[in-house]
Copies of this chain bind each other. A is one copy, B any other.
Amino acid sequence: MREVATRSKAASHRLTQLDTDQKNRCLLAMAQALLDNRQAIQEANAKDLETAQEMKLSGAMVDRLILNETRIQGMAQGLREMAALPDPVGRELDRKERPNGLILRKVATPIGVIVIIYESRPNVTADAAGLCFKSGNATILRGGKEAIHSNQVIARLMVQAASACEPQFPAEAIQVLETTNREAIPALLSLTGLVDLCMPRGGEGLIRAVAACSKVPVIKHYKGVCHVHIDKEADLEMAVRVAINAKTHRPGVCNAMETLLVDRAIASEYLPKVATELAAHEVGLRGDSEVVSILQPLIEKQQLALKLETATEEDWHAEYLDLVLAIRVVDNLEAAIAHINHYGSGHSDAIITSDETRAQWFMRDVDASAVYWNASTRFTDGAEFGMGAEIGISTDKIGARGPMGLEELTSYKWLCFGNGQIR
């Protein structure tokens, strides 16, 4: 592991020497190489699929493993889009002129060596390596053993294409770990002088295991327990529309709403409206006692065909990723904020209100990566935020927070321009 990381560190120091045009040409060459070598990729992928059958992986796992024509084109397209994005390195973030004449420029730099740990989807290889390369970082990729042949061929094609295109390209800027040994991860993540950051991508179990063993910084994406709070001053028609979208547009993703909070003042008017729509979308509800007392009579009178259960403490913590929704009536805005800060995951939370003061209050006090006023939580996403590409969504607060695009893959340094200043 130390050798791999040492080579990666050396490569990261050579990457600073490539200018933006050189990096972009490399990305385009990588994209072309993936398209030109579809057959080699699919042959390697076939080996992985064979092993997957032997390992008796689930249908969903096998599906994520497949590299068909569309997915190969998707990887190539992703690399082309990265080439078109502005270079995040060298941006001036701050500038100061000191009384002694020293000029300080705070500029964005690559982070250095980034380890990406992921499962199953081999297209992550191209996405992650491409984004890290464009931001000047060297990558060490550790995919699942079920995808090792696919991952290796993708990385090899990218490195070969970039090396042919730019002789200065350091071939070890993109490395796939050859071993899929479990012990390799803690060994690699103990190399604090060589590895600068680890980004695990996958289920909560993987992320917690990586975070627990790592001695290097880890940027994590745990889960999305996202809330929409319907304020007493809400436009109730908008409040229904946004809640339905946040819950049902794509329930299996991290920015989908998991808990709906409703101000008591409008609960008896709003809940039947939203419940009717939720029922139409086949969403099952877990309501607190007030929600149940408002909706249960309607169900009994057959005015509402809804699956309604009484919520338990666990429901307020739950990331269902499914057509299930927890609903709670709250005393007031303060109680809504307290609920979110206690049970939320710091991902995305929204308020629906027509009152700007109340919206600002919510936006100031809710501790989350993205806080919405009169919009769906579903917008927390690199593409929707105009970042052009996304390597993940951070629920951490040190380094990047929220959607991570190219800028979030940079650090900074201070460039200090003098003419002989001494202290």
Contacts and interface: CB of A to CB of B under 8 A. Distances in A.
B378 A16 contact: no
A363 interface: yes
Nearest to A190: B212
Contacts of A415: 363, 371, 373
Nearest to A242: B422
Given A398-B197, A416-B370, A423 B376 contact: yes
A109 B385 CA distance: 19
Nearest to A90: B364
Interface stretch (A39-47, A160-168, A258-266, A406-414): A406-414
A401 B412 CA distance: 7
A151 interface: no
Nearest to A360: B415
A96 B397 contact: no
Contacts of A369: 413-414
Contacts of A212: 215
Contact of A421 (B375, B386, B397, B413): B375
A64 to B, nearest CB: 23
B398 A111 contact: yes
A386 B99 CA distance: 9
Copies in the complex: 2
Contacts of A98: 384-386
A375 B102 contact: yes
Nearest to A361: B17
Contact of A414 (B17, B374, B376, B385): B385
Interface size on A, as a range, is: 35 or more
Interface string A161-204: 00000000000000000000000000000001000110000000
Contact of A238 (B241, B384, B420): B420
Contacts of A337: 13
Nearest to A412: B401
A235 B385 CA distance: 49
A355 B324 CA distance: 66
A221 B343 CA distance: 34
Given A13-B367, A17-B365, A215-B212, A376 B422 contact: yes
A200 to B, nearest CB: 14
A23 B372 CA distance: 27
A112 B238 CA distance: 33
Contacts of A414: 369-371, 380, 385, 402
A419 interface: yes
A276 interface: no
Contacts of A291: none
B378 A422 contact: yes
Contact of A422 (B109, B249, B341, B416): B249
Interface string A73-102: 000000000000000000000001010001
B13 A373 contact: no
Nearest to A410: B397
A211 interface: yes
Contacts of A397: 109, 111-112, 196-197, 411
13 contacts: A13-B365, A104-B386, A111-B397, A196-B397, A211-B215, A212-B215, A235-B420, A242-B420, A371-B413, A372-B418, A373-B418, A375-B417, A402-B413
Listed from nearest, the 7 A-B pairs whose CB atoms lie closest are A375-B418, A245-B422, A397-B411, A398-B399, A217-B398, A375-B421, A370-B414
Given A246-B422, A376-B423, A401-B413, 20 more contacts: A17-B365, A96-B385, A98-B384, A98-B386, A104-B386, A192-B211, A196-B397, A217-B396, A219-B398, A242-B420, A368-B413, A371-B415, A373-B418, A374-B418, A374-B421, A375-B420, A375-B422, A385-B414, A398-B411, A402-B413
